[in-house]
Structure 1
Amino acid sequence: MAQFDVIVVGAGHNGLVCACYLAKAGFNVCVLERRNVVGGAAVTEELWPGYKISRASYFPHLRKEIIEELNLEKYGYKHGSIEPRNFFPFKSKHLFLYSNPEKTAHEISKFSTFDAKQYLKFYDLAKSFAQTVDPLMLMPPPPVSELLKMMEGADVEWIIRDFLLTSAKQLVDELFESEEVKVALCLNSVGNTSMSPEDVGTSYLLALSEGSAGYSYAIGGSGAVSKALEKAAKDLGVKIFLNTEVEKIIIENDRARAVKLKDGKVLEARAIVSNADPKTTILKLVGQDFFEKEFIHRVKNLKNEGGQAKINLTLKGLPRFSCIDSTNIGEEHKAYVGMAESVDEIVKAYFRWRFHEIPERPPVYSFIQSAWDHSVAPPNHHTMSVLLRYVPYTLNKGNWNERRDELMQLFVSIYEEHAPNIKQLIENYEILSPWDLERLFGINSGHVSHLEQTLNQLLSFRPLVGLSNYRLPISGLYICGAGTHPGGGVTGAAGHNAAMIIIEDLKKSN
């Protein structure tokens, strides 16, 4: 007889969400985690005394339905919205984007009154599209034919054309005249991806970014999400084992029966669900011999090469941006910052990544958690998360142990063009290349969304046609991570959706 109803491999936030819902439905669940802490990439770690660092992900936006249904506020989860959403410094100007479209349009009017009017039209279309897609986030995605039927109204042709068949670059070129506005929207179109704004599908991501609620933060850092989920899971009876690495998922008679741990111990269950990325789950944990050759060939060729590096910093003061006058914590410190001088610069950086070269000027993003949450740093000190876009997983020259420090030099050189005091503020830092993200968090090729978020790897195509219902083609085997619908980000949606499918299957088998 199986020791558990369900074994969840990996205590990332999606794995924990999945475990909570399964236990809430009355099933006996255990979670096995390789590291000594839950959360996967959604962790807060005290890398330096007194500083709580969101070491990998730093923008948790857990679905409100999950927060309410799992009663996470009871377990200490507190969060807030980031406003303004974005700050883009340029050499002598700056641009804020707000959740309020009229306020954003007023900002844009500093660059172009035409663009301000265009933005309001664009926002209305993006919001309409986002509202159509949003309910699909908490369910297995429907076939594309059904999705298209859901899009109604006079603007449906424009929505399909602009957000499903067009690149972000082409769209902003058609809609706007100001280079600064184009840069801002192109930077927002490639979040959590290794895609170029010239790629079809980036307009889909841009529409969701601009047409939805915006960014949020968790008090205590990203790990606060995982800690609340851990407490909720334990209260529901879930058994969580840390420092417990799964070596193999055991298949017998075409069914997932058990997991073999690295120490040789075997644990049996009626169902196994993997929070790991699809490639790791299928190729490593299960093994190629249990699948058809064509299926394995497709899995091997899923796009998932990482394209971003994370730098964690502590600062002894606030950066002062030369394009804006402020002495205290201002809107520019509370927003998500994006830096690039032109769309062409973004595209050039992408092509350097394509050829496994470090870009000369990668797009830079940053967020100062302590500007909102004073619990993560000592008084008058700050934590900063920095993202460098288009940093390759593999290098055509050298390796990351030899070249990691180049990323810090790039960050400082670009950032001090806009905030000249940044270098003198830095106290401590940690550089995580895509290779480091794989090594630390077990993310194949260091892609934070597990798989690229191209249109042919989203919705009912994620991770492959026929697998968007979280079932793998072996009975009793499931996946629930960011490589499934709806994709990356700390939302918990994939874990929720997988749990609903597993509950349905287990009840049928009873």
Structure 2
Amino acid sequence: MSDPAFDAVIIGAGHNGLVCGAYLAKSGMKVLVLERRPLIGGACVTEEVWPGYRVSTASYIMALMQPKVILDLELAKFGFEVLKPPPLFQPFPDGRSMTFWDDEARTCAELAKFSAKDAAAYPEYRRWMRALAPFMRSIIWETPFNVSLRSGDIADALRFAWRNKGFVGDFYKIYDLLTLSAYDLLGRWFESEEVKAAIGFYAAGGGGSAGPRSPGTAYVLLRPLVRDHETAAGGWGFMRGGMGSISNAIARSGGRFGMQVRTDADVRSVLVKDGRACGVMLTSGEEITAKRVVANASARTTFLKLVDPALLPDDFTQSIRSMRSKGSVYKVHLALDELPRFSAFDASAAGFPYPAQVRIGPTIDYLERSFDPVKYGDYARQPFVVAMTPSAVDDSLSPPGKHVMSVMAGHAAYDLREGWSDAARDALGDVVLDTLGEYAPGIRDVVAHRHVLTPADLERVFDLPGGHVHHGEISVDQAFLRRPAPGYADYRSPVPGLYLCGASAHPGGGVTGVPGHNAAREIMKDAKRR
């Protein structure tokens, strides 16, 4: 039999698949990345939805991409450019507003409009959170150990404990983060419902399917601190050219080491010979052989569609089937003839020209009620809204004088009771425009085009199981040792030679590059052993 055509074939050219491939190619492996869509990027992509309008159709801001990956792969040489956006702006129904600045003192002054006590408590809250950030920044790079009585697993657990012994004093704080609701944790510092809603907003709308009173949502409050923005890799913000610029830069970086990428290459199945993954078969019937297969596709797609179920232990398959992965956030993209005007925003008073980042979710009760309809197969008529207008700082995204707004909103049931018809999509788009119209009167008059992606559409287009942007809830029962299944959290699978490198693996979703980095590290370790 002839030698395999590649050292590694990767299923899915999302950013993690590209990161994994780039690291493997850099190490000297011959790598092929396969993408079923006609363009690379997965959910980290820029698409021309209407002629001249380039939209980040899924992920929309560079906030968590890890400096280590950016620097290791020298992405700045390949078009990776971050544009600092204006401060985040949150209007309220009574005409007041809150602006979050990089400068803590200025943010405290904003909070003081609602509560002097909360303004005084904010620095203390930040110190408490920042003290835990080093643990989170450390643990994302770990390969989760398996819990068993095998000597190797025991040794891995002991090494993990030793490496992280410095965080023992923070154990109870970390436990609180992993178990409490965002509302309960924030209640330790803040009294104003508006302040708690503003600070806890992401916990209710960060891509999961929960309200701010749901246990376990406190952890999400720390996610923005997982990335150190004070590094040579630069800070956070809008990507010039949209989020697809990240994926394109990674592909170009890997390309100089020989990494190949093929689009319109839909994988039908993983090939297995003598009990080991040895390549893939495309839907066209073409077979591609490789020494190992790496799946950036979701765990559900990989193990429930692409792998012969007879090769998988029953308890493993059951764990994959049971993974909670019904998302409830959705996207609405708008092509604008001009920038809408938010009535609570005064450029001269704010000190910046336009609020390119706007959040709508005035109280904890509002955020909680926006999630309630999902429980009954419906969608919120008053959704939370995150409206990003990257064209306000990047004129490459729209025709001259025009703009694009990318809205993430929630909540809506993945399995809508009546089903997601075109009429239901239009109704969902209407509630977003109605909500925006309460704060930006006349916005409908400047909308030239509208594009709605429901949770079901996010699954169909981007292979996000249940429309969940993280491939599944990031919660205690589905994190670290248990992601995607107990005993297989180390990027390996029950099929030798088959690995996971995407958001279904530790540390989960978000545009971080970490699952791809960590999987490449484990693959290279195994290659040396072989």
The TM-score range, normalised by the shorter chain, is: over 0.9
**Residue 194 (structure 1) shift:** 1.2
Contact 1:127 1:211 survives alignment (8 Å): no
Aligned residue for 2:127? 124
1:214-253 alignment to 2 at 5 Å?
215-253=236-274
Contact persistence 1:84–1:334 (CA under 8 A): yes
2:167 alignment counterpart: 151
Q: 1:31·1:239 contact (CA, 8 Å) conserved in 2?
A: yes
Does structure 1 residue 477 correspond to structure 2 residue 478? Answer: no
User: Contact (CA 8 Å) 1:189, 1:209: kept in 2 or not?
Assistant: no
Q: 1:426 aligns with which of 415, 438, 447?
A: 447
- The alpha carbon displacement at 1:403 in A equals 0.7
Query: Structure 1 residues 10 and 63 mapped into 2: Cα distance closer, same or farther (>3 Å)?
Result: same
Deviating more after overlay: 392-401 vs 382-391: 392-401
Measured after TM superposition, the shift of residue 463 of structure 1 is 1.8
**Separation in structure 2 between the aligned mates of residue 32 and residue 225 of structure 1, nearest angstrom:** 18
Residue 349 of structure 1 contacts residue 363 of structure 1 at CA under 8 Å; is this kept in 2? Answer: yes
**What are the residue-to-residue correspondences of 1:38-57 with 2, within 5 Å?**
38-57=40-59
Tell me how large the CA RMSD over aligned residues is.
Answer: 2.2
Contact 1:85–1:215 (8 Å) recurs in 2: no
Which position in structure 1 is the counterpart of 2:527?
Answer: 506
User: Measured at CA, do residues 101 and 465 of structure 1 come closer, stay the same or move farther in structure 2, by a change above 3 Å?
Assistant: farther
Partner letter of residue 71 of structure 2? E
1:207 maps to 222
SS at match of 2:99: strand
Aligned to 2:29: 27
- For residue 178 of structure 2, the aligned residue among 151, 160, 164 is 164
Runs (5+) with no aligned partner, structure 2: 146-156, 230-234
Name structure 1 gaps, 5 residues minimum: none
Percent of aligned positions with the same letter in both sequences? 35
Shift of 1:186: 2.5
Q: Which residue of structure 2 aligns with residue 288 of structure 1?
A: 309
CA contact 1:329–1:371 (8 Å) conserved in 2: no
Tell me the distance in 2 between the aligned counterparts of 1:395 and 1:318: 32
TM-score normalized with structure 1 length: 0.94
* Counterparts of residues 31-430 of structure 1 (less than 5 Å): 31-61=33-63, 62-141=65-144, 149-153=165-169, 156=170, 159-190=173-204, 191-209=206-224, 213=229, 215-326=236-347, 331=352, 333-430=354-451
Q: Distance in 2 between matches of 1:111 and 1:329?
A: 17
Q: Aligned-pair distance for 1:316?
A: 1.6
More displaced, 478-487 or 133-142? 133-142
* Deviation, structure 1 residue 100: 2.9
- 1 CA distance for matches of 2:110 and 2:461? 41
- Give per-residue Cα distances to partners, 1:134-174, cap 9 Å, x unaligned: 12223324669668744255xx2662354123110111233
Cα shift readout 1:478-506 (whole Å, capped 9, x = no counterpart): 01111111211112111111111101111
Please give the alpha-carbon distance, in whole angstroms, between the structure 2 residues aligned to 1:34 and 1:216: 29
Q: Distance in 1 between matches of 2:188 and 2:61?
A: 30
The Cα shift of 1:253 comes to 2.6
Shift of 1:314: 1.3
**Range with bigger deviation, 344-353 or 37-46:** 344-353
Residue-by-residue CA offset, 1:50-79 (whole Å, 9 max, x unaligned): 221111111134222111111111112111
What's the offset of the Cα at 1:132? 1.9
Amino acid corresponding to residue 379 of structure 2 in structure 1: I
Distance in 2 (alpha carbons) for counterparts of 1:199 and 1:87? 23
